[in-house]
Chains A and B, each alone.
Chain A
Amino acid sequence: MQAARSRYPVREREAMIGTLLFYRRIASPLHATRAGIGAAWALSLTAAALILYHPLCLLALLVAVLGAGWGAGVGPRLARSLRTATIVALPIVLVNVLVSRQGLTVFARLGDLGPFGQGDVTVEAAAYGGVIALKVTMLILITGLAGLAVDPDEMLRMFRRLSFRSALTATLATRMLPVLAADSQRLAEAQRTRPAGAPAGARGRVALLSAVVGGSLDRAMDVAATLEVRGFATARSAAGARGRPRRALSRHDIAFAASAVAILALAIAGRMAGVASFAAYPRIEMPTDAGTFALALALIAATALPFCDRRGIDP
């Protein structure tokens, strides 16, 4: 008897494909909101992250977005986006620290760096790099949240008024991604069941790649045939959009629309009133008064409140 085989790790990719990368309708207030309003809410968060510079406010927004992710039931998947964001954000801090010459508070001297001049590392450059990194992190997280919780089909339907075929093609590409991923996984699995395992070496990989491409083309032909018989060739730009009856606003539509307005208003008001002002150079000026704390708390509250009402959220 052979011992139990453990050549391969547990394969969960097939199940993961559906849960990791793509929108899935689940029971949450954000998923229950119409796509247009959900997208507008995400845009207002993006705008707030771009308008505000005060680290406290940005951290408040970060907490609010992560909280929104948990409220929308996509927390673990959003946490993976946070890891990606961190990988992108850290180099931003490093680069800013190395290239910025505007700060006055030197905390490390790297000596003469040749063409780059004197390598003085300042607190201000690190702080400013941190703020930019925080903003980039925010943008990645908000995009991730919108991708996971805003129905892309509904969004694309909105664009069908402009171009039905383009919108449908985009939808098709979205739909085919997991299908093709599953196809290539299946093919790789089949190769692993060969007595000699999957072909190795450059030639083997090329053969495998060409098989994957060939399979994708076959799949594309089948899909094209389906689209033909469904009348894609006669598609009209405004099809289905004309005379669309008005959908009554749900409680979640109203809540997220109000939240979007509130977030945007708070960010603009804060910036204009100088409540959360921040200047990195030449010395860090970062007031931490009651107004700043109030703005940070208000941003969290405005983001989180729509998630408190969980009536009528079942898919």
Chain B
Amino acid sequence: MTGAVLSLENVTYRYPDVERAALSDVSLEIAPGEFCLLAGLSGSGKSTLLRAACGLVPHFHGGRFAGRVQLAGLDTREHGPARLGAFAGALFQDPETQLVTGSVRAELSLALESRGESAAGVARGVEEVALALGIDALLDRAPHELSGGEKQRVALGAALAGRPQIVLLDEPTSQLDPVAGDELIGLLRRLNQEWETTVVLAEHRLERCLTGADRVIALQHGRVACDGDPAAFMQWASERAPALQTPGAKLFALCDLHPAPVGVKQARAALRSLALLGEDDPREPGRAEPARAGAATRRRGARRARKLSALAMRGVWHELRNGPAILRGATLVVAPGESVALMGRNGAGKSTLLRHAAGLLEPTRGRIEASGRVALLLQNPGDYFIHERVDEELSADALEAAGLTAMAARHPRDLSGGERQRLALAIVTDAHDAAQTRRGHARARDDDARRERHDGDVQAPPAVLALDEPTRGMDRQGKAELAGELRRRAGEGQAVIVATHDPEFAAACADRAVLLADGRVIADGPTRELLAGGWYFATETARILGGAGGALLPEEGAELLRRRAPVEVAL
């Protein structure tokens, strides 16, 4: 090993009581100052690799470990995470579990104090990292007062307070809105550029960070499948792993254009050189037409929804006693078979609106009406699992319909992220749940009362299916499957409402998008109109094509490009 800040030599690792190796014969070296992306589907070994780098594997998790990991010249078999922490900062997915003290200042100083820094060193370290990350105004705030984005910044600050040589990040943007996510990635780039901090970032939404990366390491089944610069990775992904392709790369692949672009700028430059950024470009005249068409569609949609709505929320307010108003007269009418994406920043009121729709909250003002049951899938699927076996959670019919029969005997917590999501979705939509629950709780004294209460409304499938950020931490493949499932349900007449931060997912599963801000609906229209023209709330395809033709997904973009292609550039 020569000068690498992190090196892995033939590392193979198995978690305790698991036969399949999470990492298999992994060898790589990361040089100081590299910005390195870890790509791979869920379960490919990204998180395990990061945990091996910071010493949590094997010291914290146990299991069988072979090979050698060296961080800043220290062998992780000989030095534990605490010692390695002086050289590596780690940031994981859930900011809630990474803030362990009662104030931001205490959080930032914890790592420094743990290492026995002098008081002056602690004070300087805290001050510097707070200024660098722009969290100096939060120093005296308590963690529970912070937004998700602020929490993640503070957790990053805590990881960086000791000026580590390398920072290891495991999907740090998965719970953030597009704005906060982009801010965090921008921050990492700045740290990398200005302090030469080595960054190793595991991320599913590669399009967000590919342009700033020096190198991409793709993992498949615990093995390194690709290791190269972003352009090489894109080439590899288009040939060997389409599920890891960015939307831009997929767009180019569908049009048989090469090489696959790394980012919007490169894609636009390539299309411009082929004269494929045509008359519909938003920076050129003739853009007003689609907007008018969109307005007409919206008016038609509104009329239809008024006539026949699965869910009608009118002027809904949610005002906390001695606190702020979370919803301020939000109105949302959804027709049967309509699928709506609810978007907006963290704290905009999306989750609260869905809770009102499902009757978990009662509005302080306003009116909510539904044509039937509203099934709500909350953010964390694990919250639904209270039994030891999957088949105890829902009826056999629902289990089969969800394609989970093979997992009937497993513990719900042992399922993969996608499987958990499917199981949770099946639980909340299970029309037989009441009967199943009755069987399971036959000995309960108040069973008769429960039967009486629920018999009336649970035997039919839900009229409305609401999902609160269902794609957190999900890879592209899982998102595509979920989008397909939601499309199917909408096709069967269910109204589907999805709160999401992911414009690509919104475009894939919804016909209509509603943008919330500060508890109000600030925009409501067809998805192809709302997500085509924005910066943050726009798909990559839309950003590449400048919103032209309302193309949001690579398939739609490819169709548009084929229409535009001059004769000499046959696509």
Contacts and interface: CB of A to CB of B under 8 A. Distances in A.
Contacts of A196: 433-434, 436-438, 450, 454, 458
6 contacts: A195-B430, A222-B97, A230-B158, A233-B81, A239-B116, A245-B123
Interface in B2-56: 54-56
A24 B454 CA distance: 42
Interface of A: 1-12, 15, 17-19, 22-25, 76, 151-153, 157, 160, 164, 168, 171-172, 174-175, 178-179, 182, 186-187, 189-197, 199-204, 207-208, 210-211, 214-215, 218-219, 222-236, 239-245, 315
Contact of A195 (B94, B143, B375): B375
A222 B92 contact: yes
B378 A193 contact: yes
Contacts of A229: 54-56, 81-82, 84-85, 88-90, 159
A23 B322 CA distance: 17
Interface stretch (B184-192, B280-288, B361-369, B521-529): B361-369
Interface of B is mostly: mixed
B56 A225 contact: yes
A23 to B, nearest CB: 7
Contact of B145 (A6, A11, A24, A239): A24
A243 B82 contact: no
B308 to A, nearest CB: 10
Nearest to A204: B441
A1 B360 contact: no
B97 A226 contact: yes
Contacts of B532: none
Contacts of A211: 385-386
A222 B453 CA distance: 39
A204 B444 CA distance: 8
A179 B151 CA distance: 13
A106 B471 CA distance: 74
Nearest to A206: B386
Interface string B419-462: 00000000111110110111011011111001001100010001
A207 B428 contact: no
Interface string B72-99: 0000000011111110111010101111
A133 B420 CA distance: 55
B114 interface: yes
A239 B117 contact: yes
A152 B102 contact: yes
Contacts of A18: 142, 144-145
B382 interface: yes
A8 B145 contact: no
A226 B453 CA distance: 45
B373 interface: yes
Given A194-B433, A195-B434, A239-B115, A200 B371 contact: no
B145 A200 contact: no
Contacts of A153: 101-103, 105-106
B431 A195 contact: yes
A152 B60 CA distance: 30
Contact of B321 (A3, A12, A199, A225): A12
Residue among B81, B118, B119 facing the most chain A CB atoms (10 A cut-off): B81
A153 B436 CA distance: 48
A12 B434 contact: no
